[in-house]
Amino acid sequence: MGLVELGKHTGLSPALLSKLERDVMHPTLPTLLRIAMVFSVGLEYFFNPEPKPVLEIVRKKDRLRFPDSAEARKVAYYFESLDFPVPNRELNSYFAEFEPINEEQGRPHEHPGIEFLYVLSGRLELRVGADQHELSEGDSIYFDSTVPHGYRRHGSKHTTALVVTLEPR
């Protein structure tokens, strides 16, 4: 519908409608009500627009690399957030790169929710509570992350994993 035709239905001038359309002028509630009536929508249509699908691309060059712990003498692994710019995200995903074996690796930690880990390369030792698991390239594990858990590179091969965490709602 053109501005002239909309003007005929609303009683508003095409010039005024053009200013509203170009965001040169802000409409009053009675003006919005007239427009809403023409399109058979309520005023809430103008204040609660259709939600846009969530989509965010994170380029490798934009990611930041962090050690597992700022206080540790030796780093067990480095991680990069793969989804940091997404607002109100439902899950958190990370790329993890595990350092060669040392006595401090596998420091247990815990956090609310669940965790999913997929080994991209190498071998990884994972301790969840009292249980110890060895994962190889292509293996994955899903577990309750409220249980203390820790990771440790197993062997000399470069070891990386995709880690996804989800907190309870």
Q: Which domain holds residue 25?
A: 3-47
Same-domain status, 42 and 101: no
Determine which helix (DSSP H) or strand (DSSP E) holds 126, and give its type and residue range. strand 123-128
Q: What is the pLDDT of residues 142-153, one digit of tens each?
A: 999 999 999 999
Domain CATH code at residue 80: 2.60.120.10
Q: HEC string of 22-47?
A: CCCCCCCHHHHHHHHHHCCCCCHHHH
Q: What is the pLDDT of residues 98-124, one digit of tens each?
A: 998 765 556 789 999 999 999 999 999
Query: Number of folded domains in the chain?
Result: 2
